Amino acid sequence: MRTLNTFDFKNKKALIRVDFNVPLNANFEVTDTTRIVAAKPTIIKILEDGGSCVLMSHLGRPKGAEDKFSLKHITNVVEEIIGVEVKFVSNCVGAEAEKAVANLEPGQIILLENLRFHEQEKAGDRQFAEQLSKLGDIYVNDAFGTAHRAHASTTIVADFFPEQKCFGSLLTKEIESIEKVMSSGEKPITAVLGGAKVSSKITIIDNILDKIDHLIIGGGMAYTFAKAQGGNIGNSLVEDDKLDLALSILEKAKQKNVEIHLPIDTIVADGFSNDANTNTELTAQITNGWMGLDVGTQTQAHFANVIANSKTILWNGPLGVFEMENFAKGTIALGNAIANATKNGAFSLVGGGDSVAAVKQFGFENKVSYVSTGGGAMLESLEGKTLPGIAAILS
Ligand code: AMP
């Protein structure tokens, strides 16, 4: 695998695809700098080698060159975080960009304007990619969040660097973490899938059943399984057209010797609200008119026990409606169990949308082995798809 260590960047200009798609408030202030901080190690390594950095990214979903999506708004923050002056260039291709790159000295950084100001970026346009390719000697992809898109700057541009291309350190870590779970993980391997719907996780389940020993299912999707097995689930979330599918997953898991763990007890509520009345019931015997919004304490203990005996853990999706305090306990208990297992030597990867939000909200971020930065890219990796941005570097 071509990584940053494959090259000596001395006197080289690195064209780096970063993911600076950060949230801005009404005053154009960055409200979450995680993605910029995550790009820092790659940039620093190249500068320390004696190279220079040409940073390119998208920001938001502009329709043409919309000022509110300009990367000029974040230049100061990038500068503060990296600790080196950053020069902003108001176009990502063309004469101005080429001149700025020509004048670039070792140790210097330029930040190009939003790639998506040109519609050719998302279209994966070859000519646009070729123009981008003129802006560096070595292409570095460090944007996992867009690695599942065959855009000009994430994939097509790599064609113009047949050998001179590599993954940045963030992307390398993402790839290694996924690999640890999907192909080289120490057994027992446990996947925890939560979240709202079975339908959005079915391709993941199909792909991972061959690789894991235990599958913990929580969140709203658990009730489709409970109903499929003949349980009474009251008003809980259910996908009635997925009942047969749920049964076939259980059957497939049995054939593949994967142990499935479903919630035994459930925190039920008489409405979808933090102020609703609550009770604990067996997941298979929920009173009509009530709905399951979190896993119960018996389930928490059982899941924690499975996690404690696991050596590799993948977590995608919350176990309950964690956005409401009264239904966050199951997700917090799982986070604690994973943090403990990690402390005891297990490898834990958290990825995909809401579980990342939950991990951050409840302070588990530094207590798990790796938190993925890419929602869609992570989900597609777990589904077993080859991401175009990754394939383009490997080819
Ligand atoms: P997903 O994007 O599929 O991972 O789903 C995440 C969402 O699932 C979160 O917003 C949770 O509030 C929601 N969720 C988790 N458990 C339940 C449940 N028992 N009933 C309804 N929604 C749930």
Q: Which domain holds residue 339?
A: 174-382
Same-domain pairing of 234 and 179: yes
- Does the Cβ of 323 fall within 6 Å of ligand 1? yes
- Does the Cβ of 304 fall within 6 Å of ligand 1? no
What's the pLDDT at 373? 81
Residue 395 lies in a domain: no
Ligand 1 atom at shortest distance from the alpha carbon of 196: 8
- At residue 219, the 3 state secondary structure works out as coil
CA terminus-to-terminus distance, the chain: 10
CA 293 to ligand 1 centroid distance, Å:
8
Same-domain pairing of 180 and 35: no
- Does the Cβ of 292 fall within 6 Å of ligand 1? yes
Last residue of a domain, one of 139, 167, 195: 167
What is the secondary structure of 281-335 as a DSSP string?
EETTEEPTT-EEEEE-HHHHHHHHHHHHT-SEEEEES-SS-TTSGGG-HHHHHHH
CA 320 to ligand 1 centroid distance, Å:
6
Q: Is it the case that residue 352 has pLDDT exceeding 80?
A: no
- At residue 165, the 3 state secondary structure works out as strand
> If pLDDT is split at 50, 70 and 90, which confidence band does 27 have?
very high
What's the pLDDT at 197? 87
What's the pLDDT at 284? 97
Residue 265 lies in a domain: yes
What number is the average pLDDT over the span 325-331?
Answer: 98
What is the secondary structure of 244-267 as a DSSP string?
HHHHHHHHHHHHTTPEEE--SEEE
> If pLDDT is split at 50, 70 and 90, which confidence band does 329 have?
very high
pLDDT in tens, 241-256: 999 999 999 999 999 9
- Least confident among 12-16, 202-206, 220-224, 236-240: 202-206
Residue 24 lies in a domain: yes
Same-domain pairing of 94 and 76: yes
Active site residue 10: no
List the CATH number of the domain containing 352: 3.40.50.1260
Active site residue 35: yes
Could you give the percent of the chain with pLDDT greater than 70? 100
What's the pLDDT at 355? 84
Q: Which two tokens stand for residue 199?
A: 């339908």
Active site residue 353: yes
What's the pLDDT at 357? 84
Ligand 1 atom at shortest distance from the alpha carbon of 321: 12
- Does the Cβ of 375 fall within 6 Å of ligand 1? no
Q: Is it the case that residue 230 has pLDDT exceeding 90?
A: yes
Please give the tally of structural domains in the chain.
2
pLDDT in tens, 290-309: 999 999 999 999 999 999 99
What number is the average pLDDT over the span 225-247?
Answer: 97
The predicted model scores a pTM of: 0.90
Pocket test for ligand 1, best of 354, 361, 382 (most atoms within 8 A of CB): 354
Same-domain pairing of 144 and 103: yes
What number is the average pLDDT over the span 204-223?
Answer: 95
Residue 391 lies in a domain: no
What number is the average pLDDT over the span 184-202?
Answer: 92
**Average pLDDT taken over every residue of the chain:** 96
Ligand 1 atom at shortest distance from the alpha carbon of 320: 16
Last residue of a domain, one of 167, 196, 230: 167
Same-domain pairing of 180 and 328: yes
What's the pLDDT at 180? 92
Residue 201 DSSP code = T
CA 59 to ligand 1 centroid distance, Å:
27
Pocket test for ligand 1, best of 198, 237, 268, 326 (most atoms within 8 A of CB): 237
What's the pLDDT at 374? 81
Ligand 1 atom at shortest distance from the alpha carbon of 236: 20
Question: Which of 35, 180, 211, 227 is the catalytic position?
Answer: 35
Residue 55 lies in a domain: yes
Same-domain pairing of 178 and 125: no
What number is the average pLDDT over the span 42-62?
Answer: 98
pLDDT in tens, 97-128: 999 999 999 999 999 999 999 999 999 999 99
> If pLDDT is split at 50, 70 and 90, which confidence band does 356 have?
confident
CA 322 to ligand 1 centroid distance, Å:
8
- Does the Cβ of 361 fall within 6 Å of ligand 1? no
Active site residue 197: yes
- Does the Cβ of 237 fall within 6 Å of ligand 1? yes
> If pLDDT is split at 50, 70 and 90, which confidence band does 228 have?
very high
Residue of minimum CA distance from atom 6 in ligand 1: 195
Q: What is the C-alpha separation between 68 and 33, in angstroms, rounded?
A: 18
Last residue of a domain, one of 122, 143, 167: 167
Same-domain pairing of 119 and 210: no
Pocket test for ligand 1, best of 321, 323, 325, 329 (most atoms within 8 A of CB): 321
> If pLDDT is split at 50, 70 and 90, which confidence band does 200 have?
confident
Q: Which two tokens stand for residue 392?
A: 């383009």
**CB distance 87 to 108 below 8 Å:** yes
Same-domain pairing of 229 and 145: no
- Does the Cβ of 196 fall within 6 Å of ligand 1? yes
Name 134's Cβ contacts closer than 8 Å, sequence gap at least 6. 98, 101
Residue 388 lies in a domain: no
What's the pLDDT at 305? 98
What's the pLDDT at 290? 98
- Does the Cβ of 320 fall within 6 Å of ligand 1? yes
